[in-house]
Amino acid sequence: MRGCYQFRHAGAFLALVAAAVLLSSECLRSNPIMIDEYAHLPAGISYLDLGRHFIYRENPPLVRLLAALPVWMSGPRMTYDRASSADRSEWRVGTGFIAANGARHHELFVRARCVVLSLSILCGLLIFFWASESHGAAAGIVRASLWLIDPTVLANSGMATVDVGTSMFGLGATFLFWRWLRDPSWRNALLAGVGLGAAQACKFSMLALYPAWLALWLLSMALASRVDQASPALGVRSWVKLGGIFLLSLFVLDCVYTFDRVGRPLGAYDFKSVLLTSRVVDDRHRVPDGNRFRGTWLAGIPVPLPEDYVRGFDSQKWEEEWGFMRLTRGRLVHGGSWYSPLETLAYKLPLGTLALLSASAVYWFVRSRRLRLFECAVLVPALFLLLVLGTQTGLNWAVRYALPTLPFLILAVGGPVQAAWGCPMWRWGVLACVFWNGFAVVGARPHFLSYGNELVGGQDGARREFAGSNYDWGQDLYRLARWWGEHSEVRPLAVLYYGALDPGFLGINGTGIPDQFIEVGESVSPTTTSMPAKPFYLAISFNILIGQPANVHFDSGLRMTAFVRSPRLRFDTAVTRIGRTIYIFHIVPTAAEARSDKDVTYDELRSSFREASFNESWKFTLL
């Protein structure tokens, strides 16, 4: 009977995995190359080709290495003539990678995406295993479903980016540390150190695990003393082992970087972030350099980290300090708030997950009030990750940055689920939450990246709160190509697309962008044309329509251009919408618009672009 019971739960978990694979594969194969994604994969291939990690060093390399391995083994074409360690050249390398591999580029990205999907499945398996060990197989199934059948997870599992892999490695490392706290043997300490080092090699946000683990270790001693027991983690040996875990993690991190330029003195670096230079510059295009440690006793200390890791951290911090534009309540604003990650999760997580998280908080406050080591092991890392993310207000509203906290939050619902399983009424309540999530996923497919829950008004309401990677990352270009091919009457077509792939690569041979509709910056190359005298069609990505800068393609690579300035381009005047993010307008020019009365100089356009792009707020009309 017990074997049958276990077989049923194993079958249920495999069904969840099959559903996740089917749903993610829809994005994995049907989406074009996304923003950032087209730089991640070539960077990973360069690590294997060159043995250096300066391309896209703003994230550590482990997940990229894993995703690039099957692509590298298939012999892709790479060009490094425009690669540079002096600036962020990953965008140029990515553009060159797509051009060099032609139509084959999509197949190569699909292989890398399959690796990321596998890491997502491993994360679900780890959630199931850890939850089952702590609260039973039923609780494990419920919690695994909250990860595997989640729109945001499904969207990111179909992209060759680093956030899903970071979530898996961060959770796996903490699981191994939890095992060491229960049984502080040298073997478990070794595994925990390796796991922590692997997590550090995924993303800089994993630095939060160091204080989180220290706090967790102290909590484990407090919990043991409260119940009058001798903690297995007490004593001098445990201090030594904890220090050994942290030191081993640094060794593993250096191994991932193949010990490339490890040990440079701290004073030898030229930094640019305010954190590491203490210099504030009011012009983003003038990159500062300095070192706040130079001239102090710290300058001569060798840094036990690779140079590209240190420089990558500095560069990432500099970008966060400047911040990016985000959408909130129908307005583009600069930067976020400390609570932005929580707000984004509240709008992005399905209501079933939110209901179970709320029930967990009530359960622990009302019924338990006494946390076990397991609850501390999942809540403390989640808290520290959210605290660190809350301080990074320049970019913390992007849900992908909060994704590594999600497995820990999901595991926190185990106690209430286990308690509810013994009562038929509450059991049906838990199942209702799971099925609600399932219906949300089915209703959102295949547009998982643009998902917003009922609190924000669903996917249509989400366009008031989300932009960029939370809503539009260029995922509908293939749908536009199919629509354009099926509608021969849509000629001529001007395209202003927010994405990494040139629409002309797919045969969308549109006209130039009318200069009466946009303002151009960041490029001296001509990018606009006068408006045609005859009616024409205009395809615009959501991000550009609301005022975000657009990516315009040239032979020399991507350049930044500015944003829509015509008052007639509103959501309610669109002829149709392609997917969720590309709007089609039919433009009938007036006599005044068809005339070209004034030549606008590049300096005027650049000034207008910068004023609008970095303004504190930018208002637009939704309906």
pLDDT tens-digit series, residues 124-142: 999 999 988 887 788 889 8
List Cα–Cα distances, 498 to 450, 464, 504, 553, 562, in angstroms.
15, 18, 14, 10, 11
User: 331 vs 296, which has greater pLDDT?
Assistant: 296
How does 347-371 read in b/e, with b if 16+ C-beta sit within 10 Å? bbbbebbbbbbebbeebbeeeeeeb
What digits encode the pLDDT tens for the residues 346-371? 999 999 999 999 888 877 776 655 67
Residues 326-334 have a mean pLDDT of: 82
pLDDT at position 509: 65
What digits encode the pLDDT tens for the residues 248-257? 999 999 999 9
What digits encode the pLDDT tens for the residues 256-290? 999 999 999 999 998 988 888 887 766 565 666 78
Q: How confident is the model at residue 570 (pLDDT cuts 50, 70, 90)?
A: confident
Residues 141-161 have a mean pLDDT of: 94
Residues 570-597 have a mean pLDDT of: 76
CA dihedral 164, 170, 172, 176 (to 10 degrees): 180
pLDDT at position 502: 79
Residue 528 pLDDT more than 60?
no
List Cα–Cα distances, 586 to 94, 306, 537, 583, 591, in angstroms.
33, 54, 5, 10, 16
pLDDT at position 112: 96
What digits encode the pLDDT tens for the residues 29-72? 889 998 889 899 999 999 999 999 999 999 999 999 999 999 99
Structure-token pair, residue 24:
């993610």
Q: How confident is the model at residue 331 (pLDDT cuts 50, 70, 90)?
A: confident
What digits encode the pLDDT tens for the residues 462-506? 888 998 899 999 899 999 999 988 988 888 787 888 888 878 788
Highest mean pLDDT among 5-9, 262-266, 567-571, 602-606: 262-266
What digits encode the pLDDT tens for the residues 201-211? 999 999 999 99
Residue 427 pLDDT more than 50?
yes
Concatenated DSSP letters for 82-144?
Answer: T--TTTT-HHHHHHHHHHHHGGGHHHHHHHHHHHHHHHHHHHHHHHHHHHHHHH-HHHHHHHH
Distance, CA of 384 to CA of 369 (rounded, Å): 20
For tokens 């038929």, what's the residue? 424
Distance, CA of 450 to CA of 472 (rounded, Å): 7
Whether 500 and 543 have beta carbons less than 8 Å apart is answered as: no
Lowest mean pLDDT segment, chosen from 149-163, 211-225, 413-427: 413-427
pLDDT at position 538: 83
For 27, phi then psi, to 5°, come to: -75, -40
What digits encode the pLDDT tens for the residues 371-389? 778 888 999 999 999 999 9
Mean pLDDT of the chain: 82
Cis peptide bond N-terminal to 446, omega within 30: yes
CB atoms within 10 A of CB 12: 18
pLDDT at position 162: 96
Highest mean pLDDT among 323-327, 399-403, 618-622: 399-403
For 161, phi then psi, to 5°, come to: -120, -175
Greatest Cα pair distance in the chain: 87
pLDDT at position 511: 52
pLDDT at position 84: 85
Q: How confident is the model at residue 567 (pLDDT cuts 50, 70, 90)?
A: low
Element (H or E) spanning 558, and its range?
Answer: strand 557-561
